[in-house]
Structure 1
Amino acid sequence: MALVDQLALESDLSDSALCQLLDYLDHPDQDQDGRVRHHLIQKAHQKRMEIYGNRVFLRGLIEISNYCKRNCVYCGIRAGNPGAERYRLTLEQVLESCRIGYELGYRTFVMQGGEDHAHTDAFLTGLIHEIRTAYPDCAITLSLGERSRESYQALYNAGADRYLLRHETADDGFYAGFHPGMALSVRKACLEDLKAIGYQVGAGFMVGLPGQSNQHLVKDLRFLKTLDPHMIGIGPFIPHHETPLADQPSGSVEKTVVLLAILRLMIPKVLLPATTALGSLNPVGRELGIRAGANVVMPNLSPLEVREKYDLYDGKICTGDEAAECRQCIQKRIENAGFTVDMARGDHPDWRN
C-alpha cells in the first residue's frame, strides 16, 4: 500500500521500488485478497478522474496496408510470412473510411500500417492533404513505423497532428532479439525527431514477451517517464500462428492492467488506450483497462473486406463488424462500465496547435 500511495503522491518511484511493486503483485500468495492491486487501480482511476473526468475518447482506426519490410518475430504481417494476404487501401478507400467515420462522429482518424515501400512521402502527403481539406476539424494520427526526419517533417507540414511509434522494449539486447536488423537507438531517435518536429507523440510496449522480466518492464517505465510522450499504448503479447513465437503463451491481461494503472500514476496527463489486444484475450479486457486509468479506445473503420488481413496476432476481435456496429458496441460497453464516450479530437491537455 505504501508504495502505491507514494507513487500516487509523487508520480514516481525508484527503479528498485517499481520492481518491488511488480514482483509483489506477481504473487497472489502475497496479495491474497488483492488489496494492493485494488488500491493501485483505485488510485489510478482517481487520478484519471481528476484530469479527464469519466470521458473515454474514441479514435477511428484505418489499417491502410499490411505490407511491411520488417521481420519482427512476433508480428503476423512480418515480411517473412508467406501466408499473409497482402493489401493496400487506395486513396479513395481511405477517404471513404474517413467519410463513414465522420458521419459516425469521429474527429480523430488513425492511419496505421506496416512499413510499406509504396507509402512514399508523395502518396502520404497527398492523402493527408485530402483528409485535412475535407475534415479540417479532425485530428490526423499516423502509425507507419520508422521514417527519416525529413519524411516526418513533410507529413507534419501536410497536416498530420500525431504519430504513434511503440518502442516495444527499452532494453537494447531484448529489442534486437525480436527485431532482426533493427536497433533500439534508431527507434528512440525517431521518437525524439517526432517530438522535436511538434507532433503529439505516442510510444509504448508489449507485456508478456517471451523472456520478459520485471527488470525489462521497469526499463520501459523509466524510458517513458523520461520521454514524457502524449500517448502510451501497451497491450499483452498474443502469438500469431505463422511467426517464430507461435507456440509461446500470451501475455497477461491482469499484468497489463496493473501497468496501465502504474502509467496513469507516473505520467498523469497521458492519453492511454485500452487496446484491442486486451479485448481479444478477455471479453471485458478493455473495460478492465478503462477502470484502471485508460481513456482512449480505437474502433475499426477499415473496409470490412480487409479487416481479417491486418492480422497482427491470432484471435483479433471486431474483424467482422461494420463501422457503425463497432461504434455502437464500444459505446454501450463504455457506458455500461460507468464512463461516457467523448467523440472530440481529445488532444493532450498540454498540447497547443
Structure 2
Amino acid sequence: MREFGYQRAHDVAGAVALLAADPDARFLGGGTNLVDLMKTGVERPARLVDVRELPLDRVERTADGGLRIGATVTNSDLAADPEVRSGYPALTQAVLAGASGQLRNMATVGGNLLQRTRCGYFADVTKPCNKRSPGSGCPAVGGEHHNHAVLGASGHCVAVHPSDMGVALTAFDAVVSYETPDGPGEVPLTDFYLPVGDTPHRETALPPGALITHVSLPPAGVAARSRYRKVRERASYAFAIGSVAAALRIEDGLVREARLAFGGVASRPWRAHAAEAVLTGARAGGETFAAAADAELAAATPLPDNGYKVPLMRDLVVSVLTELAEGEAR
C-alpha cells in the first residue's frame, strides 16, 4: 500500500476545501470499499480526508413528507430507521441484503453509492481493465463474465454495480445532493451513474472533488407497498447476480402506479422504465407481469456465460410483482 496522509474534516466546507487543495486525495467514510482497493493497489490516494464526523448522520423528514438521508448515516442505522421501515420497506430490505452486519455498521450511504465494481479484472492490477486503466481493454468480454452485465454494457466494459441500496433508491426517485468549491448541486439518482459507452472510467455525474451530503426521497406514496428481492450464489454476504426493487398501487384490479428497478445486471442500478410503462394501466396479473419483464429485458445483450440472467430476472420480476399484487388484494 502506498503511504498516505490523513486529515479529519469537521465541516462540509472544510472537507471540500481539503480535497480541492489536493486532487490526489479521497474522501473516507466507512472505508469498507476504499481501504480494500488501497490494499490491492487499485486506489492509491496521497491523502485521506475523513468525513465521518461531519454533521450528516441523520435521517430527517422533509417539509413535503419525504426523507432527507445524510451521507454519513450508516447502513445499519438507515435500515433500522422507523420512517424508512414503514415508508420505504424495499429500502430496508435492500440494505439488510447487502454485506454482513459488521460491514453495515461501518458503511455509509454516500460511500455505498460510490462503491466500485467487484469485477475480478478491475480488482487485479496485473490485468488490463478499461475502468481502471482507460484504453487497456476489457478481458471480461472474452473471459470470466458469468456474473456480469446483460443490460447497458458495451464492448469497453461489462462490469456490474454492486449496490443493493442503490437499486431501491433508484426505484423511488431519489436525488443526490452534493457540495463543491463552487457551491451545492443535486442530481437524480437515475442520472447519477453515467452510461458505460467507451468511457467506463467515468462512473458518475459528480463534479471533480464533490462531496455527497444527502440523499433525498419524495413522499413515500407507492413506495410504502414495496419489496426488494435478491438472488445470489450463496445465502449470505454475497453480491447479487440479479435483484429487483418493486412497488405497485392497484385499484379495481388495474395497476395505477408502478416502480421497478433491477440490480446485478448493469453497470448502474437499472430503472426499468419500459416495464413500468407496460404495467401502468394494465390488469394486475401474471400475464401482465411477464409482459412487463419481457419489455425491459428485450434490450438485454448477454455474453456466452451470463445468458441465464435473462430468464432469472424474468422469473424474479413476475414473482415479486405477484407477491405485491397478492398483498394488495388482502
TM-score of the superposed pair, with normalisation by structure 2:
0.25
**Bigger helix fraction:** 1
Name the structure with the higher strand share.
2
Higher-RCO chain (CA-CA 8 Å, sequence separation at least 6): 1
